[in-house]
Structure 1
Amino acid sequence: MKATENSRATYAQSQPDAVLDQLHTTKAGLSQTEATKRLAQYGQNSITKAAESSQLKVFLKNFISLMAILLWVSGAIAILGGTLELGIAIWLVNVINGCFSFWQEHQAKKATDSLMAMLPTYTQVYRDGKRQQINAVDLVPGDVFTLQAGNAVPVDARLLEATSMQVDQSALTGESVPESKYIRYDAGEGEFAESNLVYAGTTVGAGTGLAVCYATGMHTEFGKIASLTQQQTKVLSPLQKELDRLTKQISMIAIAIGLAFFVAAIFFVHYPIAKSFIFALGMIVAFIPEGLLPTVTLSLAHGVQRMAKKHALVKDLNSVETLGETTVICSDKTGTLTQNQMTVNHIWTLAHHYDVTGQGYVNNGEIQLDGQTVDYQKDPDLDKLLRVAALNNDTTVQMADGKPKILGTPTEAALVIMAQKAKFDIDHAEKATPRLKEFPFDSDRKRMGTVHQHDDHTLSACVKGSLSDLLPQCTTVQVNGVVRPITDDDREKINAANTKYAAMGLRSLAIAYREIPLQKDLQSQLDALTIENTENQLTFVGLTVMADPPRPEIFDAVAKCHAANIKIIMVTGDSTLTAKSIAVKIGLTSDKARVVTGTELDAMSEPELQEALRGEIIFARVAPEQKYKIVSTLQENGEIVASTGDGVNDAPALKKADIGVAMGVTGTDVAKDAADMILTDDNFASIVAAIEEGRTVYANLQKFLTYILTSNVPEAIPSVLFLFSRGLIPLPMTVMQILTVDLGTDMLPALGLGAEQAEPGIMNQPPRKRTAHLMNKHVVMKAFAWYGLLASAISTFAYFFVNWQNGWPQVALFSNGNGYARATTMVLGAIVFFQIANALNCRTQFASVIKAGIFSNKRIWYGIIFEVLLLIVLTVVPFFQGLFNTTVLQASDWIFLAIIPIPVFLIEEARKAWTRHNMAAK
């Protein structure tokens, strides 16, 4: 909580003693008694999460969707209509689906909760004048605590002491270059740039410090952004909206058909009202896809499981399908598109230019440069550059589980790793030339200097820093091991090289040194050395050129997004030059892309921003609220937006976006809490895999609809024949047989379609339009006009075929007895066996099922085996024969049924081959 009404600017601009007075504390810290009082007054140093719904509410919401309500009502009507078994079966579908959905979401939430590590666990704090270790949640305003390299900053605080301190604030600002911190006030450039303030959620990269806390928990800058995030309410996902729409469509169709059949049964066939109602109920329930909710849940659950194996953890099942609809990805740069670690990729001296981009280093002190192997010990300039870079360095790099662990700044780590890869013995160099004095980096001179004892006669001053500030201090230059006076021509060449790298969006760090004769009184000499008399008359060695490199897998991921017509917009706090350089390098945009800064964004009107977002664009130097504005405007443009990020500054945009994607390794707790999906490997390529899964889920739902709606037509046609013949044609299919198909034989193969793998080429199609629907023209035509009519013709033929075998048309059609039961059983069997081929055909839209693997989806085959066994049971068990009006079929009947799937399957394979041929010809 906040201790006073002072703004952070007041704390930054006040002297340390004044800040301590304002916070009613001392440099020796608070007493334990006072700290306890303040903890009670201000609360724990933690980020308060928005209140979550009770588990009971979360559980019950799975039973009150439109489709669920429709099924509850249908079951009740069935029971009231005298078909108790039917009503119970429908209700069981609802219960099982609701429990399954709740379990899946509960498991996903448990997994995400395990990732939430919000703030540092322990902090070294002064209490009662003694330094002690406490839990970071117990920090209060006025506490004085220590910071050192590798520490996460637990609160917002004012520095009281600072030595060579640099802080990585990328989680707040998106800026990959660490901020230098010191006691005196410097406003800096951009947000959170005050030189003497540190913020919760950031990390100390180098140096040490002593700070006094002035804000904790939700009153830190970290907490304020978290609060902004929690104010955003999530709307229904596109899938939820589409399912609601589909449910309404199907409900209206089913009720209209049921009402029409009810009226027709009364006036055409002269059925009693009660009998007409049961007849109409059969039609209503027949047109309700009872398997829709289980299939949706299963499809989403399979998508979640497959994505989890690809390092993408989804918190909400509906988010899977929404990912598949994504049209725009708003992506941060640092840590998302790039690795958030500086890497040296060019070494430049006046004698040589070493391009080490993608080349790497090899053993035995040799470096592979420009395709040829060079021994750094044979190049005196390269040897000197590596030596100065290694000695003038406060960062250590340790290997942990095969990966480098950095204790310091990314920039210095890049220099250390450069030397390590070159097999330069840093430990030996440090022991042979021990550091005696240092001049920490500061933003005024933009240099760091260290003094080492080179031998018994010489001190060596090692200096690195900005070229513009270091080069004027150089009077000599080393070329091929020879030190000579620097000339104007040398300076022009050096500046030209620096300008070239800057234009590439790379960062140059100049390396220089100076040899100083050793005096007898070493300590007096060291005391007399100052920045002014040490960091001059330097010898220029060269430039180390580095960048925060793109993730290796990003190139392929970006290419896939472009192939899928998904636009990627970089939204970063980094500089315009660096942002555009990275964007062009990884293929995100062309060189013609417009770069808009945060300042320019503020000046843009809403129509101007909407128009700008329709073209190639990059956003640089943006603030958190501006990211939110970008996402909102894209949504107003009709885009479905996925926003990625790892920092606190990304959280509002993550919450606002249709899909928020947070980084699981480097991401802050607020970002993870706001996101719909967490990448457990921080790999942008996992987003592409997730989008593919989302598209697969949607495609599978359409396959399910095509399959399930197909059987509605042959179920309805026999009833139409019955009605239009005014009852002269006995009902070819009873209500219970219709329900057998819907709730029995069709269910498992339909669920199998929900687990179908991605069809080849699914990522070469554009995202579906927001105006598109699950039950579109293609699905309706395929289910009703093609498959449905074909199934109706076959099943109707089976009905009359049995009657023909028994003398029709010379004798009347069966209206009762075993002959009638055999005829209706054949209709039921014909639909079941037609659906066997239909299930296989629906697995792909364009690809050959044979090529995809006829037996690759075992769930469909389990469903097929189940429906055939169920049909056999219904025809041979006396109890079921009476309930479903079935009978034992003859051998010829089974042969007839077994032949049905073969031509149906082959005809569809031929149609798909023709379609593929036409698509290839375009």
Structure 2
Amino acid sequence: MGNQTITTDSAASMTLADLDQQLDTSAQGLSATTASTRLETVGPNTIQHGQKQSQLLKFLKNFTSLMALLLWVSGFVALFAGMPELGIAIWAVNIINGCFSFWQEHAAQKATDSLRKMLPTYVNVVRDGKVTQIDAEDLVPGDVFQLQAGNAIPADARLTEVSSLQVDESALTGESLPVFKQATYAKGDGKFALQNVVFAGTIVTSGTATATAIATGMNTEFGKIAQLTQNQKQTTSPLQRELNRLTQQLSLIAIGIGIAFFVLAIFFVHYPVAKSFIFALGMIVAFIPEGLLPTVTLSLAQGTTRMAKKHALLKDLNSVETLGETTVICSDKTGTLTQNQMTVNHIWLPSQEYTVTGTGYVNNGHIQLHNQDFPATQDPDLARLLDIALLNNDTQVVPASDSQSTIKILGTPTEAGLVIVTDKAGLNKTDQLKATPRLAELPFDSDRKRMTTVQQAVDDSRVLYTKGALDGVIQICDQILDGGQVRPITDADRTAIDSANKKYAAEGLRSLAFAYRTEAKTVTPDPAAYTIANAEQHMTFVGLAAMSDPPRPEIYDAVKQCHRANIRIIMVTGDSALTAKSIAVKIGLTSDQAQVITGDQLDKMSDEELQQAVKGEVIFARVAPEHKFRIVTMCQKNGEVVASTGDGVNDAPALKKADIGIAMGVTGTDVAKDAADMILTDDNFASIVAAIEEGRTVYSNIQKFLLYILNSNVPEAIPSVLFLLTRGLVPLPLTVMQILTVDLGTDMLPALGLGAEKSEPGIMDQPPRPRKAHLLNRSIIWKAFGLYGLGASVISSLAYFFVNSTYGWPSIALAASGPVYREATTMTLAAIVFCQIAAAINCRTQVSSVFKIGIFSNHHIIFGIVFEVFLLACLMYVPFLQGLFNTAPLGGVEWLILICIPIPLILLEEGRKYLVRRFMHKPQATMA
């Protein structure tokens, strides 16, 4: 091989002979021996997905977070304190959580891997002068290979022979319309605008071609962008940072309390040092929320499961919560905000204008005149336009095979829209082609901006059909079809046609013009003799078809929901400024006053100017995907939390740069999916909004759990404080094992149930939480250690003294041991558990009434409550457990008191929430 570093620009501009010399190849292709040797030199034609972390390291990382390390240490402390059962229980919680977390991420990765489908498996290549099929991985520079409609292009290649070739390059450029390719060199605007070069990872939509590979694998443009993306470092998620901070806070609190209790026990109560140390260690372990890690993991896992059902696949559990912080979404237009289904909306004829109902690739709409269905056969002008739309058309629309699948488009979206509108008029392409077969074709090119076909008419004459851009069609027309009559076209006609076209353009619609000419068979007896010069002349103008890519039906509500949630949406599209703004205003994305910035304008803007621009209402049109990286960066510099969508290779850097990268699962490339944090399995913007709601819910649930788990620490500590302050006159109302029973036994399942709580009403009516907000905030501290905690402390302490009073206190001293003491501590423990039952129900909502969402609607919490009461009963009545936990049976009066405890606590909290809703909790203003 003469030169392995040949560039696409140089390969495009040199002659084919020079290219063959550079690549040491020919039209006969490479020999099998040469190809094999070259494959060993350049490597396989594959896109590397970065260094994969070993499964062992992925598994172990789930046991080395700060909270996990704290639990390992807690287990050792428990063992050292002479409580092996507790130590083993803490370690078991850690191991189960780590395995569960690994399994969830592994399942998500498997689902992601199943979406990989970008590069083709096989390719038809010329080897030793013969066409043979090989694995695309074995393709090398210099190979000559063939392309046809539907093929994914396996390498960057120079075209040598072309027949009506159109290529979908949206994976690289973001532009949804197919690009016409030719074998001759022509340099357009942009990095990928070489008309005689095709790029790896793009798709042939129509036509055939032969090409010579000039770069494969990671040396392709596809591969170079993938490599740039892989070099970006993965940052720690906000949730990981916040959990680390929370762990440090709780560790300091626990250690501080332990030291305080140790000192007071020695110097105030005069406990022996060894006994004081064990007492302090028990308090430290009691104040560490052992259930935090499994609850967070379960909340994230359940969030990902709910998101998957809503077509959003998360690759990393921690990304769930980051979604809840999102303040800006940088979104593509085509296929995300719209249906990616070009739909004819209007048909303009010199004599009439028709509207077309029904959106997308469905034929259940109608062609209407003045809101009345209109059969095409009644208007010869309309019938002629529809004939042109159907027969001057290379696209096939294959119906869905079942109710679960979508139709398949073999060709371009624009031509598919024309097929569908003829379908609505009752025309059948197969029947029409049998009646009027095609004899010749003059394919579309970017210079003429039109396409012409020659059809055999029923009377054996020829009819030439032309469609294309108005400026390309009107220049070859000297007649016009008007009311079934052909007459010379006038300046007034041209003005009317131009006005109609401008009106549609202002509405963001794309217009196609249609024309025809009939001639006798004797004029051009050989169909192959038709040329652009002798065919595309003296045409009769018929009319215009105005079409658009309709918005997704659910996008309107999704945009309103974003505005209520104070989430801004910035459209970033390769489409025209007029179309982009029209769609944005139509779906309520922006007002009509929004600024539209094109790619050319963006290139001229400084970072400071762009940073200022993205603060307001702005739309980016005619931009390349690589511009998106800069837009995302400037938004982040403004302090925004950015979610960015993309499907192409060039989208990958922006997806990785964004706080949440969102790749399209249907149309997305492998590189985009690798770089993204989330994959949309339906490419639908509404799924992003649903995922953001889940992200907010997960964060809210973690805070609910935190409130629940911390509030029990106060009633656990207060009895020990009473013991210390009275210098032992009030015996410990709770033993260390009973304290840990609450933390690892009765509290665990209701806490996990809070992690499964559904979205609270109004959660998307609030602005995103500030980045400086913390899980452990003032509200949680006040509720946990004040409102809930002190209330439970008073109730549990009264329960302790109530049992003693039934045996003669205060006339006699409080029991320090024996049956009375065991019954008193059991009553204290049971009172805390029943206070926690109320807390579990109260914690389900932050502001809304729990009765509104249904007090029994969370089955996980109800099961947890039943379990903790059952466990409490076992501790009271099973002899073995009585000895281990220093408990005793309770009587009917005590049980009646316990059952009544949650009722006033729930009602009081409902009253507080009502006052908050009534006087303090005001709805946020929505965006314009």
**TM superposition score category, shorter chain reference:** over 0.9
Q: Distance in 2 between matches of 1:878 and 1:362?
A: 72
Alpha-carbon contact 1:122-1:135 (below 8 Å) kept: yes
Whichever residue aligns with residue 169 of structure 1, its letter is: E
1:693-772 → structure 2 map (5 Å cutoff): 693-772=694-773
Q: Distance in 2 between matches of 1:60 and 1:626?
A: 38
Deviations 1:175-197 (A, max 9, x none): 11211101111112223111111
Q: Is 1:386 paired with 2:399? A: no
- 1:6 partner SS: coil
Alpha-carbon contact 2:77-2:285 (below 8 Å) kept: no
Residue 527 (structure 1) shift: 5.1
Query: Is 542-551 or 399-408 further displaced after alignment?
Result: 399-408
Alpha-carbon contact 2:565-2:766 (below 8 Å) kept: yes
- 2:374 partner SS: strand
Alpha-carbon contact 1:365-1:423 (below 8 Å) kept: no
- 1:63 partner SS: coil
Q: Is 1:440 paired with 2:443? A: yes
- 2:727 partner SS: coil
Deviations 1:772-801 (A, max 9, x none): 111111111111110111101100111111
Shift in CA distance, 31/151, structure 1 to aligned 2, threshold 3 Å: same
1:369-380 → structure 2 map (5 Å cutoff): 369-380=369-380
Q: Distance in 2 between matches of 1:361 and 1:647?
A: 23
Whichever residue aligns with residue 717 of structure 1, its letter is: I
TM-score scaled by length of structure 1: 0.97
User: What residue number does 1:13 align with?
Assistant: 13
Shift in CA distance, 725/912, structure 1 to aligned 2, threshold 3 Å: same
User: What residue number does 2:306 align with?
Assistant: 306
User: What residue number does 1:354 align with?
Assistant: 354
Shift in CA distance, 2/658, structure 1 to aligned 2, threshold 3 Å: farther
User: What residue number does 2:296 align with?
Assistant: 296
User: What residue number does 2:55 align with?
Assistant: 55
1:645-656 → structure 2 map (5 Å cutoff): 645-656=646-657
User: What residue number does 1:562 align with?
Assistant: 563
Residue 123 (structure 1) shift: 1.2
Alpha-carbon contact 1:380-1:480 (below 8 Å) kept: yes
Runs of 5+ consecutive residues of structure 2 not aligned to the other structure: 924-928
Q: Distance in 2 between matches of 1:914 and 1:279?
A: 42
User: What residue number does 1:687 align with?
Assistant: 688
Deviations 1:102-138 (A, max 9, x none): 1111111111111112311111111111112111111
Residue 286 (structure 1) shift: 1.9
Q: Is 1:499 paired with 2:502? A: yes
Whichever residue aligns with residue 112 of structure 2, its letter is: T
Q: Distance in 2 between matches of 1:360 and 1:587?
A: 20
- 2:569 partner SS: strand
- 1:522 partner SS: coil
User: What residue number does 1:451 align with?
Assistant: 454
Q: Distance in 2 between matches of 1:4 and 1:219?
A: 10
Q: Distance in 2 between matches of 1:180 and 1:363?
A: 28
1:620-659 → structure 2 map (5 Å cutoff): 620-659=621-660
Alpha-carbon contact 1:336-1:646 (below 8 Å) kept: no
- 2:10 partner SS: helix
Q: 1:414 aligns with which of 417, 429, 433?
A: 417
- 2:824 partner SS: helix
- 2:417 partner SS: helix
Q: Distance in 2 between matches of 1:706 and 1:876?
A: 31
Q: Distance in 1 between matches of 2:104 and 2:3?
A: 43
- 1:400 partner SS: coil
Q: Distance in 1 between matches of 2:790 and 2:432?
A: 84
Residue 21 (structure 1) shift: 2.1
Alpha-carbon contact 1:234-1:656 (below 8 Å) kept: no
Alpha-carbon contact 1:598-1:620 (below 8 Å) kept: yes
Residue 357 (structure 1) shift: 5.1
Q: Distance in 2 between matches of 1:275 and 1:364?
A: 82
Q: Distance in 1 between matches of 2:876 and 2:248?
A: 36
Shift in CA distance, 288/516, structure 1 to aligned 2, threshold 3 Å: same
Whichever residue aligns with residue 917 of structure 2, its letter is: R
Q: Distance in 2 between matches of 1:920 and 1:479?
A: 65
Q: Is 1:485 paired with 2:491? A: no
Residue 521 (structure 1) shift: 7.2
Shift in CA distance, 245/360, structure 1 to aligned 2, threshold 3 Å: closer
- How many residues are matched? 920
Deviations 1:35-78 (A, max 9, x none): 11111111111101111111111111111111111111111111
Whichever residue aligns with residue 355 of structure 2, its letter is: D
Shift in CA distance, 68/359, structure 1 to aligned 2, threshold 3 Å: closer
Alpha-carbon contact 2:12-2:197 (below 8 Å) kept: yes
Deviations 1:246-276 (A, max 9, x none): 1011111111111111111111101111111
Deviations 1:410-456 (A, max 9, x none): 22222112212221132222222222222111111111111122244
Alpha-carbon contact 2:652-2:676 (below 8 Å) kept: yes
Alpha-carbon contact 2:665-2:682 (below 8 Å) kept: yes
Q: Distance in 2 between matches of 1:759 and 1:200?
A: 47
Residue 850 (structure 1) shift: 2.0
Alpha-carbon contact 1:2-1:219 (below 8 Å) kept: no
- 2:62 partner SS: helix
Alpha-carbon contact 2:360-2:550 (below 8 Å) kept: no
Deviations 1:531-581 (A, max 9, x none): 122211111000111222222222222121111111111122223222222
Runs of 5+ consecutive residues of structure 1 not aligned to the other structure: none
Q: Distance in 2 between matches of 1:892 and 1:361?
A: 71
Q: Distance in 1 between matches of 2:222 and 2:854?
A: 52
Alpha-carbon contact 1:2-1:216 (below 8 Å) kept: no
1:17-28 → structure 2 map (5 Å cutoff): 17-28=17-28
Q: Distance in 1 between matches of 2:163 and 2:15?
A: 17
Shift in CA distance, 877/662, structure 1 to aligned 2, threshold 3 Å: same
Alpha-carbon contact 2:439-2:456 (below 8 Å) kept: yes
Shift in CA distance, 279/3, structure 1 to aligned 2, threshold 3 Å: farther
- 2:399 partner SS: strand
Alpha-carbon contact 2:358-2:365 (below 8 Å) kept: no
Shift in CA distance, 449/362, structure 1 to aligned 2, threshold 3 Å: closer
Deviations 1:728-757 (A, max 9, x none): 211111111111111111111101111111
- 2:76 partner SS: helix
- 2:368 partner SS: strand
Q: Distance in 2 between matches of 1:579 and 1:149?
A: 29
Whichever residue aligns with residue 623 of structure 1, its letter is: A
User: What residue number does 2:97 align with?
Assistant: 97
Whichever residue aligns with residue 270 of structure 2, its letter is: H
- 1:796 partner SS: helix
Q: Is 1:395 paired with 2:398? A: no
Query: Is 139-148 or 14-23 further displaced after alignment?
Result: 14-23
Residue 920 (structure 1) shift: 7.6
Q: Distance in 2 between matches of 1:635 and 1:879?
A: 60
C-alpha RMSD over aligned residues? 1.9
Query: Is 441-450 or 544-553 further displaced after alignment?
Result: 544-553
TM-score scaled by length of structure 2: 0.97
User: What residue number does 1:147 align with?
Assistant: 147
